[in-house]
Chains A and B, each alone.
Chain A
C-alpha cells in the first residue's frame, strides 16, 4: 500500500547546525530541497542506500560524510567511523559492502601523524569489515576554513540474496529488534569534548554490523521487512522515520531498551533522552512475528550480538507515530529529535 508522503517545503532562510543533526530539520532539508530537485521521480521512502541495476547486475550504493570533534575518542576515531558508517548504511539496506572510495578534506597545518593515524584506522576497519578501499581524492583548504579533517566515503555493495528492505512491507504484529545497547557513541563524544567536565568509562560502539545483518538475514530473510542504523537522532528518529514511511504505529517497551549505566547516568544528569542519542554500531530491524524467535537467536549467537533483543512491535495505531510504554502502564509519544541533543538544567 503506497503512502503519499506529506509535502514538506524547505523554507528555512539559512543552514543551521540542526540541518545536519539527523532529526526533523535534516528530514526537512532532504525532503524539501534535495529530493524534489535531485530525485524527484522516485516515490520510494528514502533509505540508507540506493539499490540499482547496472547492466543487469543489482548493486547498492551509498555515501556518507564524517565530521567529528574530537577526531579520536574512546573506542574509535573519525577514520574508523568513516569506514563503518558506510559499510553499515549498505548493510541495513540489505547489502554487503564490497568497495569504498574515500575523499579527504584537510585543513592546512594538520600534522601528518594525525592524518596517518586516521588512514591506518581506516585500513584496519576496512579489513575487519571485509571491504576494500579502491581509491580516493584529497583536497586541502586554508587553515581555519575547516576543522582539522573531514572524510567522505562512498561504498558499493552486493545485495544479500532474498532480502528486500522496505518500510512499506511492515505489517501490524511485526516485532522490532535492536542489536545492542544504545547511546554509547553519542554520550562518549559529548564527554570527550570536555566542555561538560564529565567523565565516565564509556566507549563509542563504532563497528561494522554486516556480520550481524548477514546472520539475521540467514535466519529470517523471508520475514525481514526493514532495517536502519540509528545514528544521529538515535533510535527515536529512526523509528519515527519507519513509522512515517509505513504509516503504522510503533510501540516500544521502554524497559526493554538495553542501556549502559553510564549512558543512563549521563542522560539523567543532562536531561537527555537515550532514545535521541547517536549510535555507530547498532541497528534496528523489523521482522515478521513468526521469524522473531529465530532472528533473536541468530543475532545472539553471532559475536557482538549477545545483547540483541525485541524492544517492541508494529501496531495499526498510532499510525505514523512512535509510542513508548513504561513498566507501570504509562505511555508517551516519542518524537523525532529537533536539532542536536542539548543538555538542559530545567
Chain B
C-alpha cells in the first residue's frame, strides 16, 4: 500500500529546519524530516522516504542483525547458536519477540 524507499541525508536545509536534501543512488530531492527529528537527524543518516516525508530513521544495527541471522540459516547448529549470541549482545530496548530459530 505504501511505497517507501531508503535515502541518505545529504544536507539539512539552511532556510527550513524541517527539511533536508536526501539522495537515492544519485537522485536527490528535498524531504520533510519533521517525523524523524526526535531521533536526531544528521547528514549521513539513512531514512525511509514516503511521499516526500522521512518516516523512520533506518537502524543499521537491526539491518545487520537480520542479515547475520539469515546468513546463519541452514548451517550447522553451532553457527545458529553463534548468530543468536550475536543478536543477544545488542542491547534491545524493545519488548518484541525475536524469531525463534
B51 adjacent to A345 (CB under 8 Å):
yes
Cross-chain contact A200 with B3 (CB below 8 angstroms) = no
Query: CA separation between A200 and B49, bound complex, in Å?
Result: 17
The residues in A between 216 and 260 inclusive whose CB is less than 8 angstroms from any CB of B are 260
Q: Does the CB pair B51–A198 fall under 8 Å?
A: no
Select the stretch in A98-106, A107-115, A263-271, A297-305 that faces chain B.
Answer: A263-271
> Considering only CB atoms and an 8 Å cut-off, how many residues of chain A contact the other chain?
20
Give 10 closest A-B pairs by Cβ, nearest first: A265-B25, A262-B26, A265-B27, A265-B24, A261-B25, A200-B27, A199-B28, A271-B3, A266-B27, A346-B1
B2 & A197 in contact (Cβ 8 Å cutoff): no
B18 interfacial by beta-carbon distance below 8 Å: no
Nearest Cβ in chain B — how far from A248, in angstroms? Answer: 34
CB distance from A74 to the nearest CB of B (A): 13
What residues of chain A lie closer than 8 Å to B27, measured between beta carbons?
Answer: 191, 198-200, 262, 265-266, 269
Choose among A191, A265, A345 the residue that contacts B50 (Cβ–Cβ < 8 A).
A345
Name the B residues within 8 Å of A346 (CB-CB). Answer: 1-3
B-side contacts of A345, CB under 8 Å: 2-3, 50-51
Q: Smallest CB–CB gap between A189 and chain B, Å? A: 14
Q: With an 8 A cutoff between CB atoms, is B59 at the interface?
A: no
Measured between beta carbons, the chain A residues less than 8 angstroms from B25 are 261-262, 264-265, 268
Sampled A-B contacts (30; CB under 8 Å)? A191-B27, A197-B29, A197-B30, A197-B52, A198-B28, A198-B29, A199-B29, A200-B28, A201-B26, A260-B26, A261-B25, A261-B26, A262-B25, A262-B26, A262-B27, A264-B25, A265-B24, A265-B25, A265-B26, A265-B27, A266-B24, A268-B5, A268-B24, A269-B5, A269-B24, A269-B49, A345-B3, A345-B50, A346-B2, A346-B3
Nearest CB in chain B: distance from A328 CB, A: 13
Report the separation of the CA atoms of residues A344 and B1 in the bound assembly, to the nearest whole angstrom: 10
Min CB–CB distance B1 → chain A (angstroms): 5
How far apart are the CA atoms of A345 and B26 in the complex, in Å? 20
A198 contacts which chain B residues (CB < 8 A)? Answer: 27-29
Bound together, the chains give a CA A197 to CA B3 distance in angstroms of 17
- Cα distance, A346 to B5, chains bound together (Å): 11
| Complex: chain B residue closest to A262, CB-CB | B26
Starting from the known contacts A262-B27, A345-B51, 13 additional A-B residue pairs (CB-CB under 8 Å) come to A191-B27, A198-B27, A199-B27, A200-B26, A200-B28, A265-B24, A265-B26, A266-B27, A269-B5, A269-B7, A344-B3, A345-B50, A346-B2
How far is it, in angstroms, between the C-alpha of A192 and the C-alpha of B74 when the chains are bound?
48
A12 vs chain B, min Cβ distance (A): 30
Chain B, residue nearest A191 (CB) = B27
List A contacts of B26 (CB < 8 A): 200-202, 260-262, 265
Q: Considering the chains assembled together, what is the distance between the CA atoms of A202 and B26 in angstroms?
A: 9
* Closest chain B CB from A313 CB (angstroms): 29
* Chain B CB within 10 Å, residue with most, of A196, A269, A345, A346: A269
Q: Which residues of B contact A264 (CB under 8 A)?
A: 25
When distances are taken between beta carbons in the complex, the residues of chain B under 8 Å from A271 are 3
Which positions 258-294 of chain A face chain B at CB distance < 8 Å?
Answer: 260-262, 264-266, 268-269, 271
What per-residue 1/0 map shows which CB atoms of B49-73 lie under 8 Å from chain A?
Answer: 1111000000000000000000000
A268 to B2, alpha carbons, bound, how many Å? Answer: 12
Give the complex CA separation of A233 and B70 in angstroms.
Answer: 38
- Interface code B10-32, partner A: CB below 8 Å = 1, 0 otherwise? 00000000000000111111100
